[in-house]
Structure 1
C-alpha cells in the first residue's frame, strides 16, 4: 500500500458526495463522507461516514468517524413535519418546491473553530458555534455554543472542564498559530512538542 501524503490538493477517499463546498489545503475527507454547503479549513480532516451540511469548519480540525454536523430541521410549525410540504414536486403537489424553506435551512450555519477535536459519533446541531481548541466527546449532542478550549460530553453536551487556564487560553487566541504559513509551521514544528507554557511564553507578544 502506497504511503499517503497530503498536499495543497484535498485528499478525498472513495464514495464521497461533495456539493457546493470549499476544501482547504492539506485536507483529508474520509470514506463515504457527504458534504453540502461546507467550508473545510486547511489541514482539517474527517473520518469515515461523516455527514456535514451548512457548516464552516476552521483549520486543523480533527473530526472522527460518523460525526453529523448541521442535521437539517423539519417544519415543526406546520400541520405535518413530513417533507411532502416542501419537496412538493416529488409527490405531484406542486410544480415547484418550497425554496423559501430550503433557503432558511441553508442559513442555519454551524461554526467549528480551529484546532478542534470532534469525537466519534458526535452530533452538532444547526447554528451552533464551537470555539477554537474545544473538544467534543464521543456521542455527544451539542445544542448550544461551546467556549474556546472547553471539553464537553454527554446528551445534551455539557462542559466538564477547560483544557487550560483562562490566561493561557487568551494568549493562544492571540497567538493564532493556526494562521501561520505552512513554511513557518514546518520551521517551528519542534515547538509544538513543547509543554503549553513554554510554547505560549515563546510566542505570546503583549
Structure 2
C-alpha cells in the first residue's frame, strides 16, 4: 500500500530527478527503488563502468583511466589522491584509503575530535596508485602509500601496503608478492592461441617466447 501511495504522489521519473539533485534523498531512494547496478558512463572522454553505490570522497582527486570497472559497495578515500590506470577492475566491497587515524586515535584519545583531522600527529597519509590492467579482488583493503604495478592481481581479502612490481600476484594479511601473473598467462595463452596477438600488443611484447622468459 505504501509503495502504491508513493508511486501515485511521486512518479518514478520525478524521484530519480530529485535523487540526482539532492544527496539527502539518496538513502530514501535506496530503501524504495534503487538496486545495485553498474552504469556505462562517459567521463572526460573515458568509458567507465561504475556501480551506482560506490563512495568517492573527492572526485577531483581521483585520476581514473579508460575502461575502468568498479563494482558495488566500494569506497575510494581520495583525500590524498588515487590513481587508477586503464583497463582496471575493482571488485565489490574494496576499500582504497589515502589516510588512516589508527595511531592518532590512541595518542589524542578524548581530545581526538578537538584537533582538525589533517593536523593529527601520527596520522598515516599518502597516495595510492594502481597500474594499468590490474584486478583488485573483493573485500581487499589498500592502504596509503601503496603503488601496484601494471598487470597485477590483488587477491580478495588482502591487506595491501607498499610497492609491488608489475605483474605481481599479491595476497595475504599483510599482503606479499606471492607470484608472477605472467606464468599463469603463458600457460593460458599456449592453450588459447587466438588471444596471443592481443595480449602481446597490449603489453608491448614481441613474442610468446619473450613472455616465457619471465616465467623462469
Q: TM-score, normalised to structure 1's length? A: 0.61
Q: Which residues of structure 1 form unaligned runs of 5+?
A: 11-22, 87-96, 169-190
Query: Which structure dedicates a bigger proportion of its chain to helix?
Result: 2
Q: Does 1:148 align with 2:148?
A: no
Q: In the alignment, does 2:109 pair up with 1:80?
A: yes
Q: What's 2:23 paired with?
A: none
- The TM-score, its normalising length taken from structure 2, stands at 0.59
From 109, 131, 137, the equivalent of 1:119 is: 137
- Output one character per residue of 1:39-77: Cα deviation in whole Å (capped at 9) or x when no partner: 211111100000011211111111111110015311735
Partner of 1:63: 90
Matching residue within 93, 109, 124 for 2:127: 109
- Classify 1:198/1:115 alpha carbon distance in 2 versus 1 (closer, same or farther; 3 Å): closer
Over residues 118-139 of structure 1, what are the superposed CA-to-partner deviations in whole Å (9 max), with x where a residue is unaligned? 0011000011001111110011
Structure 1 149/99 Cα, relative in aligned 2: closer, same or farther at 3 Å? closer
Deviation at 1:5, TM superposition (A): 8.2
Local SS of the residue matching 2:63: strand
Matching residue of 1:48? 72
Aligned residues: 152
Rg larger in 1 or in 2? 2
Match of 1:164 in 2: 182
Q: Which sections of structure 2, spanning at least 5 residues, go unmatched? A: 1-37, 187-192, 211-216
**Deviation by residue 1:73-119 (Cα, 9 ceiling, x = unmatched):** 11735332874133xxxxxxxxxx45545xx87x6111111110000
After superposition, the CA RMSD in angstroms is: 3.4
